[in-house]
Amino acid sequence: MACPDSWYLSGLFLLLNFTMINCSIFKTHSETVPRASTTIDNFLDNVRNGTWQDPVLKVRNNKADKASLECLTLSGEFSKRNSQSLIKHSGLICIDIDVKDNPEVQSKRQALMDDKYTYSVFTSTGGYGLAILFRIDPERHLDAFFGLSKYIADTYHLVVDQSCKDVTRLRYVSWDPDLYKADKLPPIFKHYLEKPKF
């Protein structure tokens, strides 16, 4: 039987390994070939630390177009931005909760942060909506999306942006000094919808 120290070390190894997972960075949303790769956690640290604060504030103050910002594919690393060019899935999906469909979204932020499945929560580029990262099975990306959409609707009465189901979905850079990141890996979300029986 493994001792508690070995459980701790194996959990620590899993966490460190997870933080090294890559995603692709694109100069703008119109680019199809990434300019570089970075780790998911590096992206999250940059959102919190203000790496993109100035350009994001220009967008929020209507002094620049969002299309001018860099963006990333948080569900994986790609050689080109299409599903056939996926190098490796990150094991994450980024769910968008837009303010236009959910005027009360910011009031649900703490509850979403406390959810056992949440890996990270931060304010989206525009400054009103939320982006939420969940761990998923890479082989069931679409199933996880539909399951999460129902879970979030049932639990928080929030409507998920349906564009998030695309594995190549771009996430614009953002700035949120209050970004939340779990201090331990949450469980993989596996509450899939029942398939119809014929």
Domains delineated in the chain: 21-181 (3.90.920)
| Strands ordered across the beta sheet of 130-135 | 92-97, 130-135, 118-123, 180-181
Residue ranges in the chain modelled with pLDDT below 50: 1-2, 4, 6-14
- Rounded mean pLDDT of the chain? 91
Name the 3-class secondary structure at 78: strand
Span 84-103, pLDDT tens digits: 999 999 999 999 999 999 99
Write the secondary structure of 132-169 as one string of H (helix), E (strand) and C (coil): EEEECCHHHHHHHHHHHHHHHHHHHCCCCCHHHHCCCC
